[in-house]
Amino acid sequence: MSNVMETVLPLERLGRCALLAWEHAVAARNEAPDDRKRPAIMTGHILLGVLQEPKCAGGLILRKMGLDLELATDTTRFTLFYGRHPDGILGEIMDWQGEPHTPAGLISIEYALEEANLFHPSYPIGTEHLLLGLLRANQSMASSLLEYFGVTHQAARAARDMLWERLKVAES
């Protein structure tokens, strides 16, 4: 799968905000204390990246939906430090852009690509696409956390659509 990801999704396809979010995700994993460091970038790391870019579309959508970004960030960090699956990581850890990712982490990025492609095949992936991709990665850490806060895929998509409609408004 990592060869597919390298071909299908070059890092350049990430827009400015999504790239910043992904860099936050990588840093969150790599800067964790050794006794709390996850073996790979998980969906929780990617969610943390989206939450750390509150002025980008993903953060704007979540705030529009009433999410307290500070509480969500703290809860995500807590879950990354102390959360665990009874059987550990489900599936093989794979590399993308020189960083190890869980299968769910990579799937959420693939879903983000699909979300961006719905608009246009060359549209840059934004944090709104990462958010929708995380919500589509069912039973992942990020989707569970978002569900805990009442954020659903359908509601996030509707909030994204409302934001995009605002971008079309012309003033005469």
pLDDT of residue 168: 74
Q: How far apart (Å, rounded) are the C-alpha atoms in residues 62 and 50?
A: 10
The candidate with the shortest Cα–Cα distance to 161, out of 64, 72, 68, is 64
The candidate with the shortest Cα–Cα distance to 100, out of 9, 51, 37, is 37
Which residues lie below 8 Å from residue 84, measured CB to CB, with a gap of 6+? none
Q: How far apart (Å, rounded) are the C-alpha atoms in residues 23 and 15?
A: 12
CA atoms within 13 A on the CB side of 136: 17
pLDDT of residue 104: 93
Q: How far apart (Å, rounded) are the C-alpha atoms in residues 44 and 18?
A: 15
The CB density around residue 11, as the number of other CB atoms within 10 Å, is: 12
Q: Which of the four pLDDT bands, split at 50, 70 and 90, describes residue 21?
A: very high
Question: What is the overall mean pLDDT for the chain?
Answer: 89
Q: Which of the four pLDDT bands, split at 50, 70 and 90, describes residue 6?
A: very low
Q: ∠ CA(124), CA(126), CA(128), 5° rounding?
A: 140
The candidate with the shortest Cα–Cα distance to 57, out of 106, 145, 128, 129, is 128
Report, as an integer, the average pLDDT of 66-95: 85
Which residues lie below 8 Å from residue 114, measured CB to CB, with a gap of 6+? 133
**163 near 57, Cβ under 8 Å?**
yes
**128 near 66, Cβ under 8 Å?**
no
Whether residue 63 is predicted with pLDDT greater than 60 in this model: the reply is: yes
pTM to 2 decimal places: 0.90
Q: pLDDT (tens digit, 9 = 90+) per residue, 145-159?
A: 999 999 999 999 999
Q: Which of the four pLDDT bands, split at 50, 70 and 90, describes residue 8?
A: low
Q: What CATH number should be reported for the domain whose range is 2-168?
A: 1.10.1780.10
Q: Which of the four pLDDT bands, split at 50, 70 and 90, describes residue 164?
A: confident
Choose from 4-8, 37-41, 42-46, 136-140 the range with maximum mean pLDDT: 42-46
Q: pLDDT (tens digit, 9 = 90+) per residue, 88-145?
A: 566 789 999 999 999 999 999 999 999 999 888 888 999 999 999 999 998 899 999 9
Q: Which of the four pLDDT bands, split at 50, 70 and 90, describes residue 83?
A: confident
